[in-house]
Chains A and B, each alone.
Chain A
């Protein structure tokens, strides 16, 4: 019954569903996990890479975490090529705003711009939706640090902690249990992120070659700093949390 209404993105099925949008979300559920956690003094973005190989030039390619502007970064889950197109668009939008208003774009506004674009692909053009979900981590002077999630339908919401990609429902329930509502520091958030990833990742061992880890926080000079962890820093973090390569407990 579903098959007859699949091919056109821009029409409803008899049950009132948009199948192409749902299929896009299905594509994302097979992608590497990405999670974000909001702390009082910053945001953590952590993700599991699917493309892992010793031959991969780590410093030259980002797969999961990207910088959008001076105050925002994002993590992606889904079709990387689609993600790249959207990230280019987001970066342009952010700079256009800076050009007009001489100020960085407020976080929610950038999310809205992306979502308006994504929604367009579900309503006109006859083109398939983008097969990517985003986690946006940003700061603005109105609401401080914020974490948002958007999906192929063009819908978005603000989160304290959330997860996308493979095993996301699993990770989400762990986050729900362990996330403290108040008084969570960036250090707590980093630790929680590592714990959750260790419990939900598909691979049996956890190493810096499989993870991308980043934080958005305020530096000592008051400016927003985006810090993408190097391989050594990730290894150190894993060691600190006792979930490094050669752990005894099951992973």
Chain B
């Protein structure tokens, strides 16, 4: 029932995850943050198996941080995505595979060029202009196919995202009352409404 959506704009990536934390028929909390900041310009969103999602996200987060401390330079979005996919692939043929689906959004600190990567529990990975994980895909990808254009402004991207939320509210049986929305741009990562 969890949902991740990512949209690249002119010089930013707009990323959102639903904030519902539920088990079976019970909603445990409504303010869950399914994102983890990897470095100043890269954000990881994870959903999937209980425990795995957080475990994997924090494992990647710690290792990206370690790289920065060791080497004094941050990793690019492409390198972060490649590293994360590699970890997922290595876990796949081990005793305990991570059952986690993710989105990674980031910008190049110098140029502000945005990049969004979609990656799943089978370690498939693809750079995309807009992407979703979860049941949302069935409803929201077609909305974005229709309305997404390159070089969207933040306001336009937020409006597109609203169209996605409205579509889910209308057509998706799962109730997702609230979403956490974040923007990654040259200045860094921040939360918006």
B78 contacts which of A100, A102, A106, A109 (Cβ < 8 Å)? A102
0 or 1 for each of A96-114: is its CB under 8 Å from B? (1 = yes)? 0001111100101100000
A142: which B residues are within 8 A, CB to CB? 73
0 or 1 for each of B73-99: is its CB under 8 Å from A? (1 = yes)? 101101101110010000000000000
Q: Give the nearest-CB partner of A143 in chain B.
A: B73
Residue B24, interface by CB 8 Å: no
Q: List 12 A-B contacts (CB under 8 A).
A: A100-B82, A101-B82, A101-B83, A102-B79, A102-B81, A102-B82, A103-B76, A103-B82, A106-B73, A109-B71, A141-B76, A142-B73
Q: Which of A109-161 contact B (CB under 8 A)?
A: 109, 141-142
B79: which A residues are within 8 A, CB to CB? 101-103
B71 contacts which of A99, A100, A103, A106 (Cβ < 8 Å)? A106
Q: Which residues of A contact B (CB under 8 A)?
A: 99-103, 106, 108-109, 141-142
A100 contacts which of B73, B76, B86 (Cβ < 8 Å)? B86
Q: Which residues of B contact A (CB under 8 A)?
A: 71, 73, 75-76, 78-79, 81-83, 86
Task: Give the secondary structure class of B's interface.
Answer: helix
Interface contact B73-A103, CB-CB below 8 Å? no
A99: which B residues are within 8 A, CB to CB? 86
B81: which A residues are within 8 A, CB to CB? 102
Q: Give the nearest-CB partner of B85 in chain A.
A: A102
- Shortest CB distance A101–B (Å): 4
The CA-CA distance from A162 to B73 in the complex, in Å, is 25
A108: which B residues are within 8 A, CB to CB? 71
- Shortest CB distance B116–A (Å): 16
- Shortest CB distance A92–B (Å): 17
B71: which A residues are within 8 A, CB to CB? 106, 108-109
Known: A101-B79, A103-B78, A142-B73. 19 other contacts (CB 8 A): A99-B86, A100-B82, A100-B83, A100-B86, A101-B75, A101-B82, A101-B83, A102-B78, A102-B79, A102-B81, A102-B82, A103-B76, A103-B79, A103-B82, A106-B71, A106-B73, A108-B71, A109-B71, A141-B76
The CA-CA distance from A185 to B83 in the complex, in Å, is 37
- Shortest CB distance B105–A (Å): 17
A102: which B residues are within 8 A, CB to CB? 78-79, 81-82
The CA-CA distance from A62 to B86 in the complex, in Å, is 35
The CA-CA distance from A102 to B82 in the complex, in Å, is 6
The CA-CA distance from A106 to B79 in the complex, in Å, is 12
Q: Give the nearest-CB partner of B81 in chain A.
A: A102
B73: which A residues are within 8 A, CB to CB? 106, 142
The CA-CA distance from A141 to B76 in the complex, in Å, is 10
The CA-CA distance from A99 to B82 in the complex, in Å, is 8
- Residue of A102, A103, A109, A141 with most chain B CB atoms under a 10 A cut-off: A102
- Shortest CB distance B100–A (Å): 19
Q: Give the nearest-CB partner of A142 in chain B.
A: B73
B75: which A residues are within 8 A, CB to CB? 101
A141: which B residues are within 8 A, CB to CB? 76
B82: which A residues are within 8 A, CB to CB? 100-103
